[in-house]
Amino acid sequence: MMVIPLGHFYSIFYLRCMLTYPIHTGERALRQLEQDLRQKQYEQIMVLVDTHTHEHCYPLLRELLPEHELCVIKPGEIYKNLDTCTIIWQKLTQANFGRRSLMLNLGGGVIGDMGGFVAGTYKRGIDFIQLPTTLLSQVDASVGGKLGIDFMEFKNHIGLFLDPQAVYIYPPFLHTLPQRELLSGFAEVIKHHLIANREGWQQLRNTTEVRSLDLKALIEHSIDIKSRIVELDPQEKGARKALNFGHTIGHAIESHYLHSPHPLLHGEAIAIGMVTEAHIAFRRKLLSASELAEIHQFIARFYPKFTIPTQDFDAIFARMANDKKNMLGQILCTLLKGIGTFLINIAISKEEVFAALNYYNHHGPDTGI
């Protein structure tokens, strides 16, 4: 078991975390980016955006940047694959980008994961920086150096660990997000509280509207927790697996429905994953009935029920068999041991997963276990 102590809410512009690269957060983040790029003097800069961030975020940044190329790709997890990487690599090659170049990733988790992966493999690696524009990427995906793309419908199946030169988090980008996207990112905020901040969880439970929260404080709190864990275990060999709470089942659900008529956003799938994995912890007497009810009730407040047909259970479990955390043929999971602490590398069974999915399908947060 590992316990991560609660940090405090930072109010400074430059967040001094324990990572090897700076994370700049706040209203001045874009100005800091402008200054840093002047000092670095890269030979060429490629700005990677999707059609959404091209329209809503790039105009806020364009005049602050030196001369640069622009690469616009289609948005969404469905395009986070080798085909899109090839488009970006071709763009870099055709523009004669050398190794003294920079990839600037302006977007959500898909842009950050894929842009970093492309930069890390192009000519054996060029520098990249992250400018996350969604709550999901600001609290989670932009921190920690995990890069990758989906392959054969498995999440982040091809990738590497590589740190950016810096991360610039500009909270006003969040004003461009629709409510559903904002809630997708909020799922990772919930996760960070459940694994590492019991006191903060009791405060968070009173939330009824995400936009009413101090999002800048939540972002910095999540970065603090994640950076503490990543610093202990940068390549996910141990403690960093705590950050996968909700993701063993959640990733499998997300991948299974990615090409369906009604795909789930990442945070929506992780919300289901947190409820179902909390249920497994309850059955193992790691969580009390009241703690399971707290988690389920809070998540149900923000995320509509997505019924998972029983005939899909086997396919979802089969996807879990390819999870990156597995060892020796066992499906390994991170489980809560009470709210605020966790256990890693816990082998879970098919029977437990099916029972958890049935619990999610048939028990509302107030109807008991």
Q: How many CA atoms lie within 13 A of 19 on its CB side?
A: 27
Q: Do the Cβ atoms of 167 and 21 come closer than 8 Å?
A: yes
Q: Which of the residues 91, 155, 193, 266 is marked catalytic?
A: 266
80: exposed, middle or buried (C-beta count within 10 Å: 0-12, 13-18, 19+)? buried
Tell me if residue 124 is catalytic.
Answer: yes
Is 228 catalytic? The answer is no
- Of these residues, 52, 80, 146, 191, which one is catalytic? 146
Give dist(CA 256, CA 111) in Å, integer: 21
Residue in 241, 251, 279, 319 annotated catalytic: 251
Whether 266 is a known active-site residue: answer: yes
Q: Tell me how far apart the 2 most distant CA atoms of the chain are, in Å.
A: 62
d(CA 253, CA 263): 10
Candidates 38, 124, 262, 362; catalytic one: 124
Distance CA(326)–CA(58), nearest Å, equals 39
The DSSP line for 244-289 is GTTHHHHHHHHHHTTTSSSPPPHHHHHHHHHHHHHHHHHHTTSS-H
User: Which residue among 91, 155, 221, 240 is the active-site one?
Assistant: 240
Tell me the two tokens of residue 188.
């990772």
C-beta separation of 76 from 61 below 8 A: no
Backbone φ and ψ of 344, nearest 5°:
-110, 165
- Any residues with CB less than 8 A from the CB of 215 and at least 6 apart, and which? 135, 171, 174
Q: Which of 77, 80, 181, 188 is catalytic?
A: 188
Residue 251 annotated among the catalytic residues of the structure: yes
Residue of 105, 156, 197, 244 marked active site: 244
User: Is residue 236 annotated as a catalytic residue, yes or no?
Assistant: yes
Distance, C-alpha 248 to centroid of its chain: 13
Q: Both tokens of residue 346?
A: 């816990």
How far are the Cα atoms of 18, 70, 334, 343, 356 from residue 238, in angstroms, in the given order? 17, 38, 11, 10, 25
Contact in structure between 81 and 113 (CB atoms under 8 Å): no
Q: Answer yes or no: 240 catalytic.
A: yes
244 catalytic? Reply is: yes
Task: Please tell me which residue in 247, 256, 279, 319 is annotated as part of the active site.
Answer: 247
Residue of 24, 155, 216, 226 marked active site: 226
Q: Cα separation of 212 and 319, whole Å?
A: 37
Residues 6+ apart with CB under 8 A from 163: 19, 20, 21, 145
Active site residue 68: no
Q: Which residues are catalytic?
A: 124, 146, 188, 226, 236, 240, 244, 247, 251, 266
